[in-house]
């Protein structure tokens, strides 16, 4: 399939694996890129720029296809060494960066100077237009369904994507709620040039996470995610568990007076315990509503092949057949 996204990034299929904390290691990114999509290493999961450089080098050994690095600019207490991470990206020969969170403007000139294409993840049309105006090459439009940070506007993709299509000139992919060939065709129909998936890629053979995480995703339904941190205006969609219930109870009890310190035990430093050790009740972790559409653990190649086969069949048979 050829779209503006496959052309921009030099990939076979318009499928991107979004950056995921403690999931987006070299194994994940290489598997997606080898399957013809665009794999992305999560920059900040690597604790230092030197470790990111080593992870990039490891990924180069696993694939000769293009892959990217995610740089998330979120309100974190200790600001990471972004210039150091960007140097590791440039020196590592990376040509695609997925930015997310705060406006990446400060770092764009340097990235551009080195021929790096930037896809910025946004949860609103106004942020997407801003990203376009500062020179981003593409947008990942993240709807309210998404795992992770859906923003504060709560606009689902059935509205957000066509709104983005009305306004944006640069290519964009649909992110949030994407799982299969149906999602891809729907995304294209709504004006996107491809799709970005997070949660779906965790339930694959190659995803470098504990088996408990994959089984939890398989067991969950579309009713099993919750929104936390809304009173802090840093809303996150997570898989429900006891820790999430504790957070929600504190949010209810403390209202607007809640601070990060009140929930630190349930959110800080919990990713390695969940993703690596499989301690599912250790805290809150991002998960999309799309979890209700995930019923198997295929290899990444099987998943991508199935998506493309299903999308093609929907377009050429079901939809073409509906035209009388």
Ligand X SMILES: Cc1cc2nc3c(=O)[nH]c(=O)nc-3n(C[C@H](O)[C@H](O)[C@H](O)COP(=O)(O)O)c2cc1C
Which residue among 14, 37, 104, 147 contacts ligand X (CB under 6 A)?
147
> ∠ CA 115-104-160 to the nearest 5 degrees?
105
Residue least distant from ligand X (Cβ)? 198
The residue behind tokens 């599912």 is 280
Question: End-to-end CA distance of the chain, in Å?
Answer: 25
Least separation in angstroms between CB 23 and ligand X: 5
In whole angstroms, the minimum distance from the beta carbon of 178 to ligand X comes to: 5
**Is position 175 an interface residue for ligand X (rule: CB under 6 A)?**
yes
Half-sphere exposure of residue 22: CA atoms within 13 angstroms, side-chain side: 16
Q: Pick the binder of ligand X from 178, 188, 192, 308 (CB under 6 A).
A: 178
The stretch near ligand X (CB under 6 A) out of 6-14, 56-64, 227-235, 283-291 is: 283-291
Report helix, strand or coil for 225: strand
Q: Which residues contact 71 (CB under 8 A, 6 or more apart)?
A: 43, 44, 82, 85, 86, 89, 97, 98, 99, 100, 104, 107
Backbone angles phi, psi at 65, to 5 degrees: -90, 165
Q: What is the footprint of ligand X within residues 104-143 (CB under 6 A)?
A: 121, 142
Stretch that binds ligand X, among 59-67, 157-165, 182-190, 191-199 (CB under 6 A): 191-199
Q: Toward ligand X, which CB reaches closer, 6 or 72?
A: 72
70 contacts ligand X (rule: CB under 6 A): yes
Which residue ranges make up the site for ligand X (CB under 6 A)? 18-21, 23, 42, 70, 72, 100, 121, 142, 145-148, 175-178, 196-200, 285-288, 290
């Amino acid at each position: 399939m050829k779209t503006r996204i496959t052309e921009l990034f030099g990939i076979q299929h318009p499928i991107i694996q979004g950056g995921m904390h403690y999931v987006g290691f070299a194994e994940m990114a290489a598997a997606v890129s080898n399957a013809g999509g665009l794999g992305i290493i999560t920059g900040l999961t690597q604790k230092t720029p030197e470790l990111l450089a080593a992870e990039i080098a490891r990924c180069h050994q696993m694939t000769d296809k293009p892959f990217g690095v995610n740089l998330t600019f979120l309100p974190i207490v200790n600001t990471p060494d972004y210039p150091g991470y960007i140097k590791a990206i440039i020196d590592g020969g990376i040509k695609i960066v997925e930015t997310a969170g705060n406006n990446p403007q400060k770092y764009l000139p340097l990235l551009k100077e080195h021929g790096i294409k930037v896809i910025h993840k946004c949860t609103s049309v106004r942020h997407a237009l801003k990203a376009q105006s500062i020179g981003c090459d593409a947008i990942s439009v993240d709807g309210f369904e998404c795992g992770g940070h859906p923003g504060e506007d709560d606009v689902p993709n059935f509205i957000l994507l066509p709104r983005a299509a009305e306004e944006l000139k640069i290519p964009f992919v649909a992110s949030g709620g994407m799982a299969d060939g149906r999602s891809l065709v729907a995304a294209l129909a709504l004006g996107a040039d491809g799709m970005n998936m997070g949660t779906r890629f965790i339930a694959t053979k190659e995803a470098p996470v504990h088996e408990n995480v994959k089984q939890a995703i398989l067991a969950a339904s579309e009713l099993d995610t919750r929104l936390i941190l809304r009173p802090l205006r840093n809303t996150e969609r997570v898989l429900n568990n006891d820790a999430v219930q504790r957070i929600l109870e504190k949010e209810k009890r403390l209202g607007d007076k809640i601070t990060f310190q009140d929930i630190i035990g349930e959110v800080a430093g919990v990713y390695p315990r969940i993703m690596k050790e499989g301690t599912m009740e250790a805290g809150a972790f991002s998960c999309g509503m799309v979890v209700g559409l995930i019923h198997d653990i295929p290899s990444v190649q099987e998943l991508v092949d199935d998506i493309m086969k299903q999308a093609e069949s929907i377009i050429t048979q079901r939809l073409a057949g509906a035209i009388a």
